């Protein structure tokens, strides 16, 4: 199942990047400058785990970003559309790498399972 999810996210990275560069040819600098900006949300963890998780999840939630992209397209706001497509590309890249939306208890606890040193918690106990 994990490989199927990675394949899906890899396809979405390609799709969002393709749409971006088809609509905005030659806009590599904007794309590259903003690709990792959603990860700045890590800084919110300095306030609290819950605040960090909320900020991280907002900037990585694909449903929210899709609505933002639609709004940018519908209202002909090029900047919002570009931003949403770049952030969607980033979010799918993170999911491809195994990073999911965060739970409030720990940065390493994601909707895709545990990451980092806590990854062993994903293993099912032997019966």
pLDDT at residue number 101: 94
Q: Which of 113, 120, 78 shows the shortest CA–CA distance to 99?
A: 113
pLDDT of 125 higher than 70: no
Taking only the tens place, the pLDDT of each residue in 88-105 is 999 999 999 989 999 999
b/e burial code for range 35-55 (CB count within 10 A of at least 16 → b): eeebeebeebbeeebeebbbb
Taking only the tens place, the pLDDT of each residue in 13-27 is 999 999 999 999 999
pLDDT at residue number 47: 96
Taking only the tens place, the pLDDT of each residue in 31-75 is 999 999 999 998 999 999 999 999 999 999 999 999 999 999 999
Any alpha helices (H) in the chain, and if so which ranges? 2-23, 28-34, 49-60, 62-74, 78-96
Beta-bridged to residue 110, according to DSSP, are 102, 113
> pTM here?
0.88
45 CB contacts (<8 Å, ≥6 apart)? 51, 52, 53, 56, 107
DSSP state for residue 44 in the 8-state scheme: G
Cα pseudo-dihedral 21, 26, 27, 31, rounded to 10: 60
């Amino acid at each position: 199942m994990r490989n199927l999810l990675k394949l899906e996210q890899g396809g979405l990275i390609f799709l969002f990047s393709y749409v971006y560069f088809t609509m905005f040819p030659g806009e590599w600098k904007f794309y590259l400058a903003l690709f990792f900006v959603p990860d700045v949300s890590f800084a919110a963890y300095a306030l609290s785990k819950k605040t960090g998780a909320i900020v991280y999840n907002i900037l990585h939630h694909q449903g929210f970003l899709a609505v933002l992209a639609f709004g940018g397209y519908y209202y002909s706001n090029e900047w919002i559309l570009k931003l949403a497509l770049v952030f969607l590309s980033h979010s799918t890249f993170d999911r491809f790498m195994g990073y999911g939306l965060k739970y409030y208890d720990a940065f390493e606890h994601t909707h895709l399972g545990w990451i980092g040193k806590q990854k062993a918690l994903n293993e099912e106990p032997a019966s």
